[in-house]
């Protein structure tokens, strides 16, 4: 098995690792399931999982390796970590926003952040916004920041109008 990333996030799920991997690989165009491993008899006194159930789902999204682990209900996702998607245009922002927020937590949406149906936080960020926020003209960048703070899904045209002072 070839591993494409030296460093890869391991995402802890209760029992939905394979479902999550299939969900994410169904959204990102350049993606694939790499391997599914299953719990066996070994270590059952520690992991408590029924032999044959999915232990991990290794997958790739846009060349980045991930592992989804079925570890039980011990840990839950929080906003302390999120996955960031840099988008080239509004069409990409809209696509990822709609796909990833499907079945997610509507209340957790703000400033380009959303929480998917598994509780994982994502940031759907247009490259144009990043460029606006790092602009050396602080008045412009602050107007864009103020506009961004009032949004859920980011709107590039609205951010640009604020940046330009219109």
- What is the pLDDT, as a whole number, of residue 47? 77
The whole-angstrom separation of Cα 92 and Cα 120 is 19
Domain boundary residue among 23, 41, 70? 70
Residue 2 has pLDDT above 90, yes or no: no
The model's confidence at residue 152, banded by pLDDT at 50, 70 and 90, is very high
Sign of CA dihedral 25, 31, 32, 38: negative
Residue 134 has pLDDT above 70, yes or no: yes
Range(s) of the domain holding residue 55: 10-70
For residues 119 and 91, membership in a common domain is answered with yes
For residues 88 and 157, membership in a common domain is answered with yes
CATH code for position 151: 3.10.180.10
For residues 90 and 53, membership in a common domain is answered with no
For residues 21 and 59, membership in a common domain is answered with yes
SS (H, E, C) 24-76: HHHHCCCEEEEEEEECCCCCHHHHCCCCCCEEEEEEEECCEEEEEEECCCCCC
State percent of the chain over pLDDT 90. Answer: 86
**3-state SS assignment for residue 83:** strand
Higher pLDDT, residue 54 or 106: 54
For residues 57 and 16, membership in a common domain is answered with yes
For residues 15 and 61, membership in a common domain is answered with yes
Domain assignment of residue 2, yes or no? no
Residue 135 has pLDDT above 90, yes or no: yes
- Reported pTM: 0.91
């Amino acid at each position: 098995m070839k591993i494409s990333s030296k460093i890869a996030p391991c995402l802890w799920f209760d029992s939905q690792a394979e479902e999550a991997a299939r969900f994410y690989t169904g959204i990102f165009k350049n993606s694939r399931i790499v391997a599914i491993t299953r719990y066996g008899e070994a270590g059952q006194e520690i992991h408590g999982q029924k032999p044959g159930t999915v232990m991990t789902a290794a997958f790739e999204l846009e060349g980045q390796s991930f592992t989804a682990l079925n570890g039980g209900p011990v840990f839950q996702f929080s906003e302390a970590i999120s996955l960031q998607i840099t988008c080239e245009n509004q069409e990409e922002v809209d696509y990822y926003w709609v796909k990833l927020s499907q079945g997610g937590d509507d209340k957790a949406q703000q400033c380009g952040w959303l929480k998917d149906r598994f509780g994982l936080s994502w940031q759907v960020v247009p490259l144009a916004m990043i460029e606006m926020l790092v602009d050396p003209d602080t008045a412009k960048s602050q107007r864009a920041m103020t506009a961004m703070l009032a949004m859920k899904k980011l709107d590039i045209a609205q951010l640009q109008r604020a940046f330009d002072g219109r």
